[in-house]
Amino acid sequence: MMTTQALSKQEVEFYKENGYYLYRKPLFSAEKMQVLTSIFEEQLEEKGSKLSDELDTPHFRDERLLDFLLADEVLDLVEPIIGPNIGLWSSHFICKDPHVGRATPWHEDSAYWNGRLSSFDKIITVWLAIDRSWKENGCMRVIPGTHHSGFSDYEEVDGTKNLFDTQIKSGSVDESRAVYFELEPGECSLHDSRIIHGAAPNTSPYRRCGYTMRYFSTDALVYPDKNPGFKVWLARGKNIAGTKFVNE
């Protein structure tokens, strides 16, 4: 097994201040990354009429993905930021096809989960690049420090051209401050669930796929009545708030 190099105190402080961190090292071994890529390609083949960016919670359908989602390589990266008691919240293959990949409008992840958990201050997304992800093919971009600001106001947008059908109100995001997450395959980024982020459409000839792995501190309670049919796993440590995990 490959051992992830834990974040330094300075890197953790950077994350807490800015709401993100770019981990520019391979997260998994080359062999393990190849297995993950193969699973993704299988899911892509089986998606039917779904768009390539709609492969949400694939680990519900294919529990082989738990070998990655519950792996020490990932959890060792997450623990210095949210603590030792970690729940697996969600995962998502987000694939933007060449030329037609939809935009991801400016949003905060936590806004789409509002009411489903008791708190949002310790939820982190690990965005693992399966393909090379850079500005040309619509890599993710964030507005640093906005995770301190609370929920934004939203408006409706065209869902055929965007990954979501709502976005943060036009004119309220200072795009000149955006930091672009350019990553090579196997590298990853980390971001807070409350940070404002998005991505331009993929107008290039190059596919852009990433695997998002999302985790929360078990200090937060996942409300069962607000998450019907949704499954969460205890990834590491103790169940502090009493969430109903499938593996307990």
Q: Sorting pLDDT into bands at 50, 70 and 90, what band is 164?
A: confident
**Sequence-ordered list of residues with C-beta below 8 angstroms from that of 10, at least 6 positions apart, any chain:** none
**Fold of domain 9-236:** Jelly Rolls (2.60.120)
Q: What per-residue confidence (pLDDT) applies to 157? A: 82
| pLDDT one-digit tens code per residue, 28-81 | 999 999 999 999 999 988 887 676 666 899 999 999 999 999 999 999 999 999
The structure's pTM equals: 0.94
Q: What per-residue confidence (pLDDT) applies to 142? A: 98
Q: Find the mean pLDDT for residues 144-165.
A: 84
Q: Is the dihedral of CA 216, 220, 197, 48 positive or negative?
A: positive
Residue found by looking up tokens 């795009």 in the block: 175
Q: Sorting pLDDT into bands at 50, 70 and 90, what band is 1?
A: low
d(CA 107, CA 98): 23
Residue ranges of domains in the chain: 9-236
Q: Find the mean pLDDT for residues 174-197.
A: 97
